[in-house]
Chains A and B, each alone.
Chain A
C-alpha cells in the first residue's frame, strides 16, 4: 500500500538557503547543493525547493541553480517560485524535477494549471496555497504572505477540483518556523474538501506530530522546513531526517 511521504522543504533566497519564521526575514542555513548531498545520503522520500525571492522581487527563475540541484539530486524533487508560464514549467521539468509548484500564477489566472498539465502531465503539477488565520477564518496569501487573494480557501479548493493537478501543498503562514505543531483543523478542512493529494507544511514539532497528522487525515505528504533544518534547544543548523515509522527498504 501507498504510505505517507515525509518531505523536507528548503527555501532559496538569492541562491542561498534560508529559513523563515511566519514568512518574515529568514536566517541563512547553508548552500543548496550541499543540502542536496546531505539529503541524498539520508535517502529522503522527496524534497521540496521553493525560491521565495523570485515572485516577491519580480526576479527571474534561477534555472542554472535548478539545473545544479537536479544534477546532484537522487530523490524526487518539487520546485516552486515564480513559475508563470507553460514554458517555465516545462523547463523545470526538463531539468529533472518531478513536480512544479504554482501559487500566485494560479490565483492570477487559474486556467494556467490546465495548460501546464496538458504539457507536463497533471501528476507533475502542484498548487501551493499559503494560508493565514485571520479572526478564526482562513485566508489565502501570495507574495510571501503580503498579498491577500480574493478567493476563499473553499472556493480555491473547489476550483482545483475542476482543474486537473496532482497535489495541493497547504502551507500555514502562522505556523511557519514556530515548532508549535501542524494546524490539524486546517489539514482536516482541506482533506475533507478535495480529491487531490495533499501535503501539509508549517509548524511540525517532531516525529510524533507527523504521526498525529497521519492519524488525523490519513496518507498524505508530511512536509517540514525547520524540523528538518534545526537541532537542539538552541536551534543549531543541522540538516536531519527522521520518519514516524521505520520502513524496510
Chain B
C-alpha cells in the first residue's frame, strides 16, 4: 500500500487517481503513526518551503523509522524532493538532510535586464525533457529523454554526483531533477500530472 502524506497542501488526489488506474492500493496519511502500515511513502509538494517543513517535522520521527529502519521506498515530489536537502534559499527552517545538498534559486536573476525580460523565465513552468545519467529502477521503461511537468523556481543542488540520477535544462543551466540515495528518491517534476510518463514512473516506484 502506497502511503501519501497529507500535510494540508499538496496534490493527493492526482496520486490516488494514477495508482487507482494501475490497480495499486493507496492510503492518505493524516497521522504519522498510520505510515507504519504502508509499504511505500510519497511526500507530495505544492507549497512554499517553510509551510512544508513545519508540517513535515510532525512526521519526522515516524519517517525516520519507516525509511531508515523498515527501508520503505520514499519518493519526494517537487518541494517534497527539496526537503531532502539541508537548507533552502526559499525559507529558514532546516531540511531533513537525508541527501547531501542545498536548495537554491535557479540563477535567472543573474541575466542582464534585456535578456531577463526576453529570455527564459522563472518559475520553470511547463513541460521539459529529462536526461537520465544513471540507471535506476525508478526510470525503467520510460522513453529516451521523457517529458515531465515542472513548476518551481528553486532546485536541489546536490553535492554528491552519485545521488544525481537525471537532470533538466533551463536558462542554459542543468540541474538535478531526479535524486536517489538507496531507498530515498526525489523528483523535481510532478509525475502525478505528467500523463503517461508520470504513470510509468509511479508504477516503477510502487514496484520497488
Contact = CB atoms under 8 A, between A and B. Distances in A.
B153 A194 contact: no
Contact of B125 (A72, A73, A119, A167): A167
Contacts of A177: none
B10 interface: yes
Interface in A97-126: 98-99, 117-124
Contacts of A94: 8-10
Interface stretch (B28-36, B126-134, B175-183): B126-134
A219 B170 CA distance: 12
A122 B193 contact: no
A94 B45 CA distance: 10
B196 A2 contact: no
A151 B177 CA distance: 40
Contacts, number: 124
Contacts of B11: 70, 96, 98
B195 A75 contact: yes
Nearest to B51: A119
Nearest to B117: A195
B126 A74 contact: no
B125 A249 contact: no
A124 B121 contact: no
A74 B195 contact: yes
Nearest to B90: A121
Contacts of B128: 1-3
A122 B123 contact: yes
A124 B151 contact: yes
B48 interface: yes
B151 A96 contact: no
Contact of B193 (A76, A123, A195, A198): A76
Interface string B127-143: 11100000000000001
A142 interface: no
Contacts of A195: 108, 116-117, 121-122
A166 B46 CA distance: 13
A71 B46 contact: no
B177 to A, nearest CB: 12
Given A76-B149, A192-B118, A249-B147, A124 B127 contact: no
A71 B16 CA distance: 9
B18 A249 contact: no
B120 interface: yes
B139 to A, nearest CB: 15
Nearest to A2: B128
A93 B47 contact: yes
A115 to B, nearest CB: 11
Interface of A: 1-5, 43, 45-46, 70-76, 90, 93-94, 96, 98-99, 117-124, 166-167, 191-198, 218-219, 221, 247-249
* Among all A-B residue pairs, the 10 with the closest Cβ atoms: A123-B123, A121-B48, A43-B195, A5-B126, A197-B121, A2-B128, A96-B11, A76-B193, A71-B13, A96-B13
23 contacts: A2-B124, A43-B196, A45-B126, A72-B17, A73-B14, A74-B195, A75-B193, A76-B190, A76-B193, A93-B9, A96-B12, A119-B48, A121-B46, A121-B90, A123-B125, A166-B153, A167-B123, A167-B125, A195-B117, A197-B122, A218-B118, A221-B126, A249-B147
Given A1-B169, A94-B10, 4 more contacts: A70-B13, A117-B48, A123-B151, A249-B197
Interface of B: 8-14, 17-18, 46-49, 51, 79, 90, 108, 116-118, 120-129, 143, 146-147, 149-153, 169-170, 190, 193, 195-197
